[in-house]
């Protein structure tokens, strides 16, 4: 039996916020102390949770539940902590799920959904959900861009879009997330965002998209597609929300695609980076633009609908994990082992709906890239954060080799080949290793 991931849905026309617990009402909580509430909840959606409120909320959850652990994974330019919440009850869980919340600071609904999800998993007494947690580790970065959230800006304090920094790793936020991907090797990476609608062509309540990058292993790609199309979108639609594919304008009369405006295969975007790193990645976007006249009149109603849409999509994610964990594990394991065979092309461009041009394909990749001591001094930390293996200095010149025969095989040329769009440095291709 799968866990009861919601007991009720919040009506978008409600005048007071009553976000349901993920599994069980507060009266059934595992602690005698009443579960904490976010600033968003206590204000009935009239405002977003402040960062001091977030810290108090998470500290209270951590104290109350022995299935929760908190850690600091970095510090922003302005001194705010980047935090990771780990939730689980089993020592040897099979599946790891990572939620990345509000990489863009002006997209707060995902953060609110993540905060209440942390609490609801921590406090649940529902047998199905506890069984789910005995087999699943849920990792949550509640605020992936704290400086941007404080300023209500898309970018971080340096003006950098964190969701374009998952290759270069120039930001504290990007580096922290890369370390989490490397150290925890999540099977699923779920990235929560928001978007502004363009009616009538691009105006669904929820949009989602899998990794389109062509270096994503086929089995991982197919699992991510199933997560989107068979679980997340249907969960939203069962709750009464419209859904679509991120980046695709559709004809309002026929539903047929008209053009693509976003959602390509750039490796520096998290959903694509996750796929290249052998996780089932998914981007989820909820609509900021009001859907009804009531939402136009009352910002709180709009805010509540945005958060509730995120919560219903999260239900789809959890159902997916519970029902397909065997397939997920098989796909991510196959992907992680594939690079050890050191076979096949590496794609520098294209997407699953946009075939790469011949010049964008390395048909016969080198066996390694050689880095000079100066190059390695410049990018060695980034390679380590990416989990890329290097060999000791080669010969008298103290150069370093980065072999392709490793789990991160497809990532290596994206980082080190001069032809790659976002390469860190131009390594020397080696044909004899």
Q: What is the pLDDT of residues 220-235, one digit of tens each?
A: 999 999 999 999 999 9
CA dihedral 287, 292, 293, 296 (to 10 degrees): -10
Residue 22 has pLDDT above 60, yes or no: no
* Prediction pTM value: 0.93
How many residues make up the chain in this entry? 433
Indicate the pLDDT class of residue 397, thresholds 50, 70 and 90. confident
Please state, in angstroms and rounded to a whole number, the distance separating the CA atoms of residues 432 and 77: 43
Give the rounded distance of the alpha carbon of 84 from its chain centre: 13
Please state, in angstroms and rounded to a whole number, the distance separating the CA atoms of residues 399 and 372: 5
Residue 24 has pLDDT above 50, yes or no: no
The Cα-based distances of 328 to 105, 223, 313, 323, 346 in angstroms read 31, 7, 18, 10, 23
Residue 364 has pLDDT above 90, yes or no: yes
pLDDT at 143: 98
Q: Give the bridge partners for 369, in sequence order.
A: 402, 429
Q: Give the bridge partners for 245, in sequence order.
A: 208
Average of per-residue pLDDT values in the chain? 92
Cβ distance 209 to 248 under 8 Å? no
Span 371-380, average pLDDT:
96
Residue 5 has pLDDT above 50, yes or no: no
Span 395-402, average pLDDT:
85
pLDDT at 394: 63
pLDDT at 89: 82
Angle at the Cα of 19 (from 14 to 23), degrees rounded to 5?
140
With a CB cutoff of 8 Å and minimum separation 6, the contacts of 328 are 95, 187, 188, 223, 280, 321
Span 104-125, average pLDDT:
97
């Amino acid at each position: 039996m799968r866990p009861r991931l919601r007991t009720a849905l919040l009506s978008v026309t409600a005048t007071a916020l009553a976000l349901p617990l993920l599994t069980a009402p507060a009266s059934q909580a595992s602690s005698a102390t009443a579960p904490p509430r976010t600033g968003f909840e206590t204000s009935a959606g009239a405002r977003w949770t402040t960062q001091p409120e977030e810290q108090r909320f998470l500290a209270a959850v951590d104290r109350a539940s022995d299935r929760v652990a908190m850690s600091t994974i970095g510090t922003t330019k302005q001194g705010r902590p980047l935090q990771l919440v780990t939730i689980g009850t089993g020592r040897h869980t099979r599946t790891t799920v990572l939620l990345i919340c509000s990489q863009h600071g002006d997209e707060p609904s995902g953060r609110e959904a993540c905060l209440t999800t942390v609490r609801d998993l921590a406090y649940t007494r529902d047998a199905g959900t506890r069984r789910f947690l005995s087999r699943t580790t849920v990792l949550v970065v509640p605020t992936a861009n704290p400086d941007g959230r404080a300023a209500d800006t898309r970018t971080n304090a340096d003006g950098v879009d964190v969701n374009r920094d998952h290759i270069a790793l120039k930001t504290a936020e990007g580096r922290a997330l890369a370390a989490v991907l490397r150290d925890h090797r999540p099977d699923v990476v779920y990235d929560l965002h928001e978007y502004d609608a363009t009616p009538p062509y691009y105006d669904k309540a929820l949009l989602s998209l899998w990794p389109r990058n062509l270096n994503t292993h086929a089995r991982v790609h197919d699992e991510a597609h199933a997560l989107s199309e068979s679980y997340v979108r249907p969960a939203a639609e069962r709750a009464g929300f419209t859904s679509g594919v991120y980046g695709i304008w559709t004809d309002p009369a026929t539903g047929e695609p008209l053009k693509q405006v976003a959602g390509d295969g750039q490796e520096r975007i998290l959903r694509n980076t996750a796929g290249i790193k052998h996780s089932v990645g998914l981007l989820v976007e909820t609509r900021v633009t009001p859907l009804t006249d009531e939402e136009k009149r009352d910002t709180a109603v709009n805010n509540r609908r945005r958060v509730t849409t995120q919560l219903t999509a999260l239900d789809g994610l959890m159902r997916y994990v519970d029902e397909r964990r065997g397939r997920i594990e098989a796909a991510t394991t196959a992907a992680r082992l594939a690079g050890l065979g050191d076979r096949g092309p590496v794609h520098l461009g294209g997407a699953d709906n946009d075939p790469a041009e011949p010049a964008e394909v390395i048909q016969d990749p080198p066996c390694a890239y050689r880095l000079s001591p100066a190059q390695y001094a410049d990018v060695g930390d980034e390679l380590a954060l990416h989990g890329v293996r290097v060999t000791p200095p080669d010969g008298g010149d103290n150069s370093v080799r980065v072999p392709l025969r490793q789990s991160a095989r497809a990532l290596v040329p994206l980082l080190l080949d001069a032809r790659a769009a976002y390469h860190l440095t131009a390594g020397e291709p080696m044909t004899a290793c």
